[in-house]
Structure 1
Amino acid sequence: MKYFVCVTLVFFSLPLFALDGAETIAPKTRIIKSLSWYSDQADRWEEKVRQEPANADAWLNFYAASRYSQKSLASLSSIASQAQKVISGTFEAKLIQALNEGYSENSMKLLMEAYAMKPQQSATYGPLMLANEIRMNTADRKEFGSKLLSSGQVSQALLSYSYNVLMSIESSAVLFIDGDNTTLPLFILQDVMNVRKDVTVLSLDLLTSEAYRTQKLKNSSLEFSLGSGDEDIKKMICSGLPEQNPSKKFYYALTIGGNNISSINNELYVVGLASQHSKARLDNISVIKENLEKRFMLDYLRVDFNGENEFSAGKVMSSNYLISMLLLNDHYVKTGELGKAEELKKLVAKIAAETGKQALVENFLHREEEVPLAPPVIISLDLKKMEVSLRQVKDNLYAYNTEVTNAQYNLFLNYLKTNHLTDTYEKAKIDLSQYDKTSQAFFNGYHTYLDPAIKTRGSVTQRTNFRNYPAVNISYEGAIAYCEWLTEQYNGNADRKYKKVKFRLPTVKEWQIAALGYVDFASWNLDENTVKVTIPPPGNEDEIVKGKETVIPVDNTVLYPWFKAYNYRNKAQNRRNCFLGNFKAPEDCKPCASPSVGMDGYSMMGPVASYFPNGMGLFDVVGNVAEMTEEKGRAAGGSWNHSPDESTIRSINEYKGPDATIGFRIFMDIIEK
C-alpha cells in the first residue's frame, strides 16, 4: 500500500551554505522556517537543477524545499521522476524516490540501499525509524533513533520540549501526534532514553495506513471500528478511539491540526503541551499547575544552554507553552500569588519575544486592570435566587435561565465605581457612542437604574422601568469582566451552595445545545442528536394537541426550541399568527389575533422571561437579544431586530461592538461541589 507522509520528513543534514541564494534545507527536527522561506528556496533550487542537472545534491534540496513548502503530491512526484532520469543510482536519487513512494516495500528497499551507500549520512535515519515503526520492528527503530540522536540533527531544545509533552500525560495513557518532527523525538526519548515508555504514542500520519493501524491498535489493546462517511480518516480516529475505548485516557499534542479535532474540541482541556480528552468538566488549571511547577523541565527556556538560533525547532515549538502559562498566570493573579505570577510573566514575555507572539499576549500581560493587592470586596448577593435561576445543561455545566438584565449589570457597574476600579469600569460601561442624540436619550432612560421602592407618577410606569430588560450596548470585554466579577463574588460569599464555580460565556456548541433545551442530548454537536417530538393526528395542526411521540434526528429543519410540537419545529408563529419570540416581523406578516406591539408584543427589547421557556427552563434563547458566545464578534439566537429566519437555535449573528441587539447569558461551571 502506498502511504504518504504529508507533514514533515527528516531529509538530510549537510553543512548550511549559500549558493546563489539557495541554502541547504536542514531537517525540521533541527531547523524550522516559514512556509514562504521554503517556497522561495524551492524556486532557487529549481533554478539550480536547471543550470546543473547532474547535481544530485541540488535535486535533493529541491525536493526537500518543495516538500516543506507543501507542494502537491503531483508536483513532488514530478520532481522525483525528473531526478531519476538524470541522477539515477545515486544516494540522493534513491532517497528521493523512497520518500516519494511513502512506506511501501519498495520504499523500504530503496532506503536500505541508500543507507548502505552512505551509512554515515543521517538523511536516512529518520525515515528508517518510521519505516521500522510501520513494520513493528522496535529493535531497528531504536537503532536508527540512536543514530539520529548521535548525529546532532535533533534540536536539544526540541528534546526538552518533547520530554515535557510526555510529562503532560497521565500514566499509561494514549497520546496523539501529527508530523514527523514531533514524532521522531518522542520515539527517541522512549527508545533510547527510556523516558515515559508507558505512554502509547500514536502518529496520525502513520495511522492512515490500514495495515499499520490494525496491528498498532491491536498491540496497544485499543478497539477501533472505522465509521462510514466522507469524514477525514484522521478526524475519525481522533474522535472514534476515545468513544470506543472509554476506560482509556486520551491526550492530543497541541501541534495537531485543528481540523483533526474539530468534532471533539469541546471535550479537550489544555493541561500543558497536550490537551486531555474528557466528556466531564475538567479542572485543567490544577493539572497545568502541577505540570509546570513540578513535572516540566523549564530551565532550557530561561537559559540557552546549547546556543541554538531563533530557527531551532525547539525554540519555534516553544510558543505552544503560552496557552498553559497564560492560564496559570491568570490563576496566580486571582489567588493572590503575585510573586509566582510575576516570575511566570517574565518567562511568557521571553517566549513571546523569541517566537514573534508578542501581539497575542500583550493584552494579557499588560492589560490595565487592577492587580488584587488585597482581597476583593465581597458584597451581599441574593445567592438563593441566583442558584434557583440556574438550569443544568449537563454534568457540572449550568446556564442562567434568563439573559443578564439591566439590574444585574448595573449592580456590577456600581460596584466598579464604588470601589474605584476605573480601568475595568471604562471597559465595561454602557457605550452609546454609535447613536444619534435622539437614540441616546432613549437608551439613557433604558439603562438608568430606577429603584422600584420609589413610587413614580404619570408616564413613568412599570413598563418604562427597564430593570428587568436585557443589558445591551456593552462590549465583549465588559461581558467577560462581568463573568469574572460574578465568579469572584460568588466564590467569596460564605452563603454559597457550591464551594467553587466559574461563570463564563458559552462556546457556540454549548449555547446551541442549551438553546435546543433537550435534557437527554447525547452529543455537543447539535446535528448528532435525536429528540422526542409529538406528531399530531393528520389534519390537526394544533401544537398543543397530544399526538404520537416519535424520535427524530436534529436536522436542519429543527430551528426553534418548541420543536417538541413537530409541526412547529421550524415555524416562528403559532396558529393565531402570533410570534413565539421577540423577532423582527416581516412586512407581509399577517396580523396576530391578539393585541400586540410589533406583532410579538414588543417593538424593541422586551423584559426577560416574557415567553415560554425551553425544555431546560431557559427563556428567550431565540429573539429578544442575540447572546454573546466566547468567540468575540459572534452572538447566537437572533434578536428583536433580526428576522425569524435569523433568530433560530442555529443562527450565528456577527457583531463588531456594543449594540442594542446584543446581550449575554452567563453559564456556570461547578469546579468544586
Structure 2
Amino acid sequence: MKLITLKILTLFLLGILSNTAFAGNEVPKEKVYSFIKQKQSAQWYIDQANVWGEYLEENSKDADGWLNFYTAKRMLKLYGANVSHEDLIELVKKIGTKIPNTFEYHYISYWNAGLKSNSENLEHLNKAQELGPNRVELMDDLLTYYEINRDKENIVKTCKRWFASNDISAGVYAWNYNMLQSTEENAILITFGDNDTYPSWVLQHAKGIRQDVTVINISLISIDSYRIKYLKELGIPQLPKKRHDYSGWKEFKIAFVEHLKTHTYRPLYFAISSDKEVYESFEDEVYNVGLAYKWSKTKFDNIAVTKRNFEKKYLMDYIKLELQNDLSQGVVDHANTNYLIPLLTLYNHYEESEDVRSVEVKQLIKSIAMKNDMEMQVAKLLNETNSGVSLVVDDPRKLETGFLKVNDTLYALETEVNNESYDLFLTDLLKQKRYDELNVAKAAAVNWRSLLSSSTSSLTEDELFKNGNPSDPLAPVVNLSYEGAIAYCNWLTTTYNSLEHKKKKFGLVEFKLPTEAEWEYIANGGKQNMTYSWGGPYVRNSKGCFLANLRVGDIDDVPGQGISSETECSASNIDGAIFTVRGDSYYPNGYGLYGITGNVSEMTNKKGLVKGGSWNTRPNNATITSKESHDQPSPEVGFRVIMVVK
C-alpha cells in the first residue's frame, strides 16, 4: 500500500509541477522512486517511463527494470498524465508473464491492488516478503498490514527494521519529530499521508519517542475492520455507519472527526499538512501551535505555545545546515514550507516585542522560501516588497499578452523579449528610482555598421535594414547582461503577482529563463528529436525560402532549386536580413513560438549558455540540441521568457 491522500498529492502537484523540468534528447535511465520519497516532475517520470520501456524491449527479464518502469507509470497515473488504473492492471499482467516468481512481480502486484485484503493479494505480500525479506520497499506495506490488523508485536519489529535500514530521510524524521512534539501529553493526532504518518510511527516504536500520542491516519481509519478494532482499543464508541454508508469520502472524514470531538476526553490535534475541509466547519476553534493545529473550544495563547515549541522542543538545525547528500532533500524542503505559518507568527511576535531573535527567525523563513521558489510571496509577508509596485503597469492582463500555453503549468512567450517590452521595464526602474538595478539592466547600444563585412559596408540604410531594423520596437532586445534578463523576469513576476484584476487569468506565477531542457522542450513544439524548430533538416523550404534568420551566405540550394526571389517569398520568410528582424518573422513552431531558430540566440537559466542560434550563427550550430557560449552581452544574444503557473 502506498497511501496518497488528496492533501499530500496536492502538495506535490503544487510544488513539483511548478518546477517542471524537461528532458533533452538523451535521457539516462535512473532509479525511479515514488514522489513520496524523491521529488521529481511529471515530465521526468514520462522520460523515465520511455527509456525504461525501450530498455525492456531488449531486456524483458530484468526484474529491476520492470519495477522502475511500473513505478514511473504509477506516478504518472497519480499526476493524471494519461495513465489509468486499467493501464496499470494490464501492465501488471504483462510483468507476470515476463518475470513470474520474482520479488518485483509479487511486490508490484500487491502495490497495484492497494489495500484489498483478499487471499490472492495477501499471497503476493507473503511471497514478496519470502523472496525479499530485507527489501526496504516492503516496509510501508508490511507496517500498514500489521497496523490495520493491530498486530502490535510485528508493528514494533517492522518499525525497528525500517529505522535500521536508513531508508527514511533524517530530515523527514526531524519534521515528524517536531510534529509529535507539537502536541500535549496523551494527545490524538490526525495525519493525512505517508510522510506525516509512517515516520511518526517509526519514531514512536523504534526510538520510544512520544509513545503517549495516538497517531491516526485518516485514510487508514476509513477501513471498517481496522476502525472497529482501534476505536474499541481506545475506548471510543463505534461510528453509527460503515464507511460506504456515507455519501462520500469528505462526509466520512468530517463525521469521523466530529465523532472524536464528541467521544474523547483527550487533546485533539491535526497535522499541519492536513486537509482543511475536515475542520473547516469549526475553524475558529482550531489554533496553530507549530507543525500541528489544536482543537480547543476555549481560546488560549497559542503564540506562547508555538514559541515554546520552537525554542525548547523542536529540532531545527537540519533546516539551517544540510550535512549529507539526501535523496529526499526535495521532499524535505517542500515539507518544510509548513513551518512558514508558525515562523511568520513567531517573527511578528519577536518584532513587536523588539526581541533580537526576530533576525534569526527571519533568516530561517527566507532560507525555507528560497529552497521552494517562494521568495516573492514571503517578501510580501515580511513587508519587503516596497520596490515591487510598478509605476507603469496597472493591469496584469498586459503582462499575460503573448504567452502561449505549452502545458497546464507552463507558458512561453511567443517571441523573444522585444525592445518595447524591455524599455517598459527600464522605464519602471527609472520611475521607481531603482538606479542600481537600472545600471545593471540597461542594454548597451550597438554600432551595427561596425559589424558589417567589407562586402556589405557600403550598403545604404534602406538596403541594410530592408526587412527590419534592430531598433524596431518589436525586434528582440540584445546586448544586455544575463543579470539584466534575470531582473526583467523578477520584475514581471513581482508586478504580475502584486496586481489584482477580476479578469486576471492566474493567481501566482513565476516568469523565468528556461533551463536548457525546458528550452529544448518548447523548441520541439510538441514533437521529439526535431533538428530545427520547423522539424526538417533543411533551412529552406521547397520554394527555396529561408525558414530562419541565420548566417546563410554559404548554404547550398537544397532542397529548393536555387534561392527564390522576393516576389516568390514574402519578406517574412526569406533571409534578407543582415542583422535582427522583428520577433514574429518567419514561421512559428508547433507551439506557435516564433524565432526559436535564428534571429537571436536565447539565454537559458545557466549564465553563458545560449540556444537556438542567431543572425550570425551557421545553421549546423543552430539545431535544437546545439548550444553556444556567450559570457558577456552580445548583439547576437537576447532572451525568451517562460511563465510557470503556481
Aligned residue pair count? 371
**Residue 302 of structure 1: aligned partner:** 320
Contact map agreement 1:159 1:314 (CA 8 A) in 2: no
Between the aligned partners of 2:335 and 2:31, the Cα distance in structure 1 is 21
Farther-moved stretch of structure 1 (214-223 vs 104-113): 104-113
AA aligned to 2:128 is: A
Q: Give 4+ residue runs of structure 1 displaced > 6 Å after superposition.
A: 653-656
**Distance change in 2, residues 1:185/1:167 (3 Å):** same
Render the CA deviation track for 1:41-99: whole Å, top value 9, x for unaligned.
34443444445433321221122223333054333323222222222211110001111
1:313 to 1:347, Cα distance in 2 relative to 1, 3 A: same
Partner of 1:130: 144
TM-score, with length taken from structure 1: 0.50
Residues 1:117 and 1:323: Cα distance change in structure 2 (over 3 Å):
same
Counterpart position of 2:113 = 101
Q: Secondary structure at the match of 2:197?
A: helix
Q: Deviations over 1:421-446 (max 9, x none)?
A: xx9xx99xxxxx99xxxxxxxxxxxx
Are residues 1:120 and 2:116 paired? Answer: no
Tell me the equivalent position of 1:272. 290
CA separation in 2, counterparts of 1:309 and 1:359? 27
Q: Which amino acid aligns with 1:359?
A: M
Using a 3 Å threshold, how does the CA distance of structure 1 residues 126 and 249 change in structure 2: closer, same or farther? Answer: same
Question: Is contact 2:4–2:194 with CA below 8 Å preserved after alignment?
Answer: no
> Which of the residues 28, 51, 56 maps onto 2:63?
56
How many Å apart are 1:333 and its aligned residue? 1.3
Residues 154 and 247 (structure 1), Cα distance of their counterparts in 2 relative to 1, 3 Å cut: same
Question: How far apart in 2 are the matches of 1:266 and 1:66?
Answer: 42
Native 8 Å contact 1:319 1:357 kept in 2: no
Matched, 1:348 2:360: no
Q: Which residue of 2 aligns with 1:25?
A: 32
**How much does 1:655 deviate?**
9.8
* 1:171-250 alignment runs, 5 A limit: 171-226=185-240, 229-232=246-249, 235-237=253-255, 239-245=257-263, 247-250=265-268
**In the alignment, which residue of structure 2 is the partner of 1:149?**
163
1:437-476 aligned within 5 A: none
Q: 2:100 aligns with which of 85, 88, 96?
A: 88
SS at 1:38's partner residue? Answer: helix
The aligned counterpart of 1:66 is: 73
Which residue of the partner structure matches residue 586 of structure 1?
A: none
Shift, 1:143, TM fit: 1.5
Aligned to 2:513: none
Per the alignment, do residues 279 and 66 of structure 1 end up closer, same or farther by CA in structure 2, a change over 3 Å counting? farther
Shift of 1:128: 0.8
Question: For residues 43 and 282 of structure 2, what CA distance do their matches in structure 1 show?
Answer: 31
CA displacement, residues 92-139 of structure 1 (integer Å, 9 cap, x when unaligned):
100011112223144333222212212232211221111111111122
| 2-structure distance, mates of 1:137, 1:49 | 39
The C-alpha deviation readout for 1:262-306, integer Å capped at 9, x for no partner, is: 444444322111111234444322221111111111112112233
Deviations 1:172-212 (A, max 9, x none): 11111122233211111000000000100111221121111
Other-structure match for 2:44: 37
Paired residues of 2:27 and 2:47 also in contact (CA < 8 A): no
1:481 aligned residue:
none
User: Which residues of 2 match residues 393-542 of structure 1 at below 5 A?
Assistant: none
- Residue 432 of structure 2 corresponds to none
- Residue by residue over 1:393-452, the C-alpha shift from the partner in whole angstroms, topping out at 9 and shown as x without a partner, is xxxxxxxxxxxxxxxxxxxxxxxxxxxxxx9xx99xxxxx99xxxxxxxxxxxxxxxxxx
CA distance in 2, matches of 1:296, 1:58: 41
Are the counterparts in 2 of residues 239 and 263 from structure 1 also a CA contact under 8 Å? Answer: no
Counterpart contact for 1:30–1:153, Cα < 8 Å: no
Deviations along 1:229-266, one digit per CA (max 9) or x if unpaired, are 42425523553234322523221112223445444444
Deviation (angstroms), 1:155: 0.2
Which of the numbers 381, 384, 392 marks the counterpart of 1:367?
384
Which letter maps to 2:101?
G
Higher RCO (CA 8 Å, separation ≥ 6 residues): 2
How far apart, in 2, do the equivalents of 1:223 and 1:19 lie? 59
Change (3 A) 1:226 1:348: farther
CA distance in 1, matches of 2:275, 2:120: 30
Q: Aligned ranges for residues 592-603 of structure 1 at < 5 Å? A: none
* Change beyond 3 A, Cα 1:150–1:286: same
Instruction: State the distance in 2 between where 1:64 and 1:272 align.
Output: 34
Which ranges in structure 1 are unaligned for 5 or more consecutive residues?
Answer: 10-17, 370-422, 428-432, 435-631, 635-652, 657-673
Shift of the 41–181 alpha-carbon distance from structure 1 to 2, 3 Å rule, reads farther
Q: Which amino acid aligns with 1:56?
A: A
Shift of 1:23: 1.7
Once the two structures are TM-superposed, the CA of residue 346 in structure 1 deviates from its matched residue by 0.5
Distance, in Å, in 2 between the alignment partners of 1:102 and 1:74 is 14
* SS in structure 1 of the partner of residue 73 of structure 2: helix
The Cα offsets for residues 619-639 of structure 1, whole Å up to 9 and x where unpaired, read as xxxxxxxxxxxxx999xxxxx
1:255 aligned to 2:273?
yes
Structural RMSD (CA): 3.4
Contact 2:286 2:294 in 1 (8 A): yes
What is the CA-CA distance between 1:365 and the residue it aligns to?
A: 2.6
**Structure-1 residue corresponding to 2:597:** none
Instruction: Specify whether residues 110 and 232 from structure 1 end up closer, same or farther in structure 2 by C-alpha distance, changes over 3 A only.
Output: same
Using the size of structure 2 for normalisation, the TM-score is 0.52
Amino acid at match of 2:181: M
Check 1:210–1:654 CA distance in 2 against 1; reply closer, same or farther (3 A cut).
farther
User: 1:331: how far off?
Assistant: 1.4
Following superposition, the deviation at residue 27 of structure 1 comes to 5.1
CA gap 1:175/1:310 in 2 versus in 1, 3 angstroms:
closer
Q: 1:81 to 1:278 in 2, by over 3 A?
A: farther
Indicate how the Cα distance of structure 1 residues 248 and 231 shifts in structure 2: closer, same or farther if over 3 A, else same: farther
Question: Residues 261, 57 of structure 1: CA spacing in aligned structure 2 closer, same or farther, 3 A cutoff?
Answer: farther
Note the alpha carbon deviations across 1:207-227, whole angstroms, 9 max, x for none.
121111111122122334256
Cα 1:45–1:281, aligned 2, differ >3 Å: closer, same or farther? farther
The answer for the alignment partner of 2:374 in structure 1 is 357
- Rate the CA distance shift 1:95–1:310 in 2: closer, same or farther, 3 A: closer
What is the rounded CA distance, in whole Å, between the counterparts of 1:22 and 1:152 in structure 2?
24
Aligned position for 1:326: 344
Partner Cα separation in structure 1 for residue 502 and residue 298 of structure 2:
30
Distance in 1 separating the partners of 2:189 and 2:362: 29
What is residue 407 of structure 1 aligned with on the other side?
Answer: none
Q: In structure 2, how many angstroms separate the alpha carbons of the residues matched to 1:295 and 1:285? A: 15
String of CA shifts for 1:549-606, please: whole Å, max 9, x gaps. Answer: xxxxxxxxxxxxxxxxxxxxxxxxxxxxxxxxxxxxxxxxxxxxxxxxxxxxxxxxxx
Determine if contact 1:222/1:245 at 8 Å carries over to the other structure: yes
**Distance in 2 between the 1:204 and 1:288 partners?**
25
Residue identity opposite 2:221 in structure 1: L
With 276-285 and 200-209 compared, the bigger mean Cα shift is at 276-285
Structure 2 CA distance for partners of 1:68 and 1:287, relative to 1, 3 Å: farther
Listed as ranges, the gaps of 5+ residues in structure 2 are 10-24, 396-497, 505-646
1:74 and 1:254 mapped to 2: Cα distance?
Answer: 34
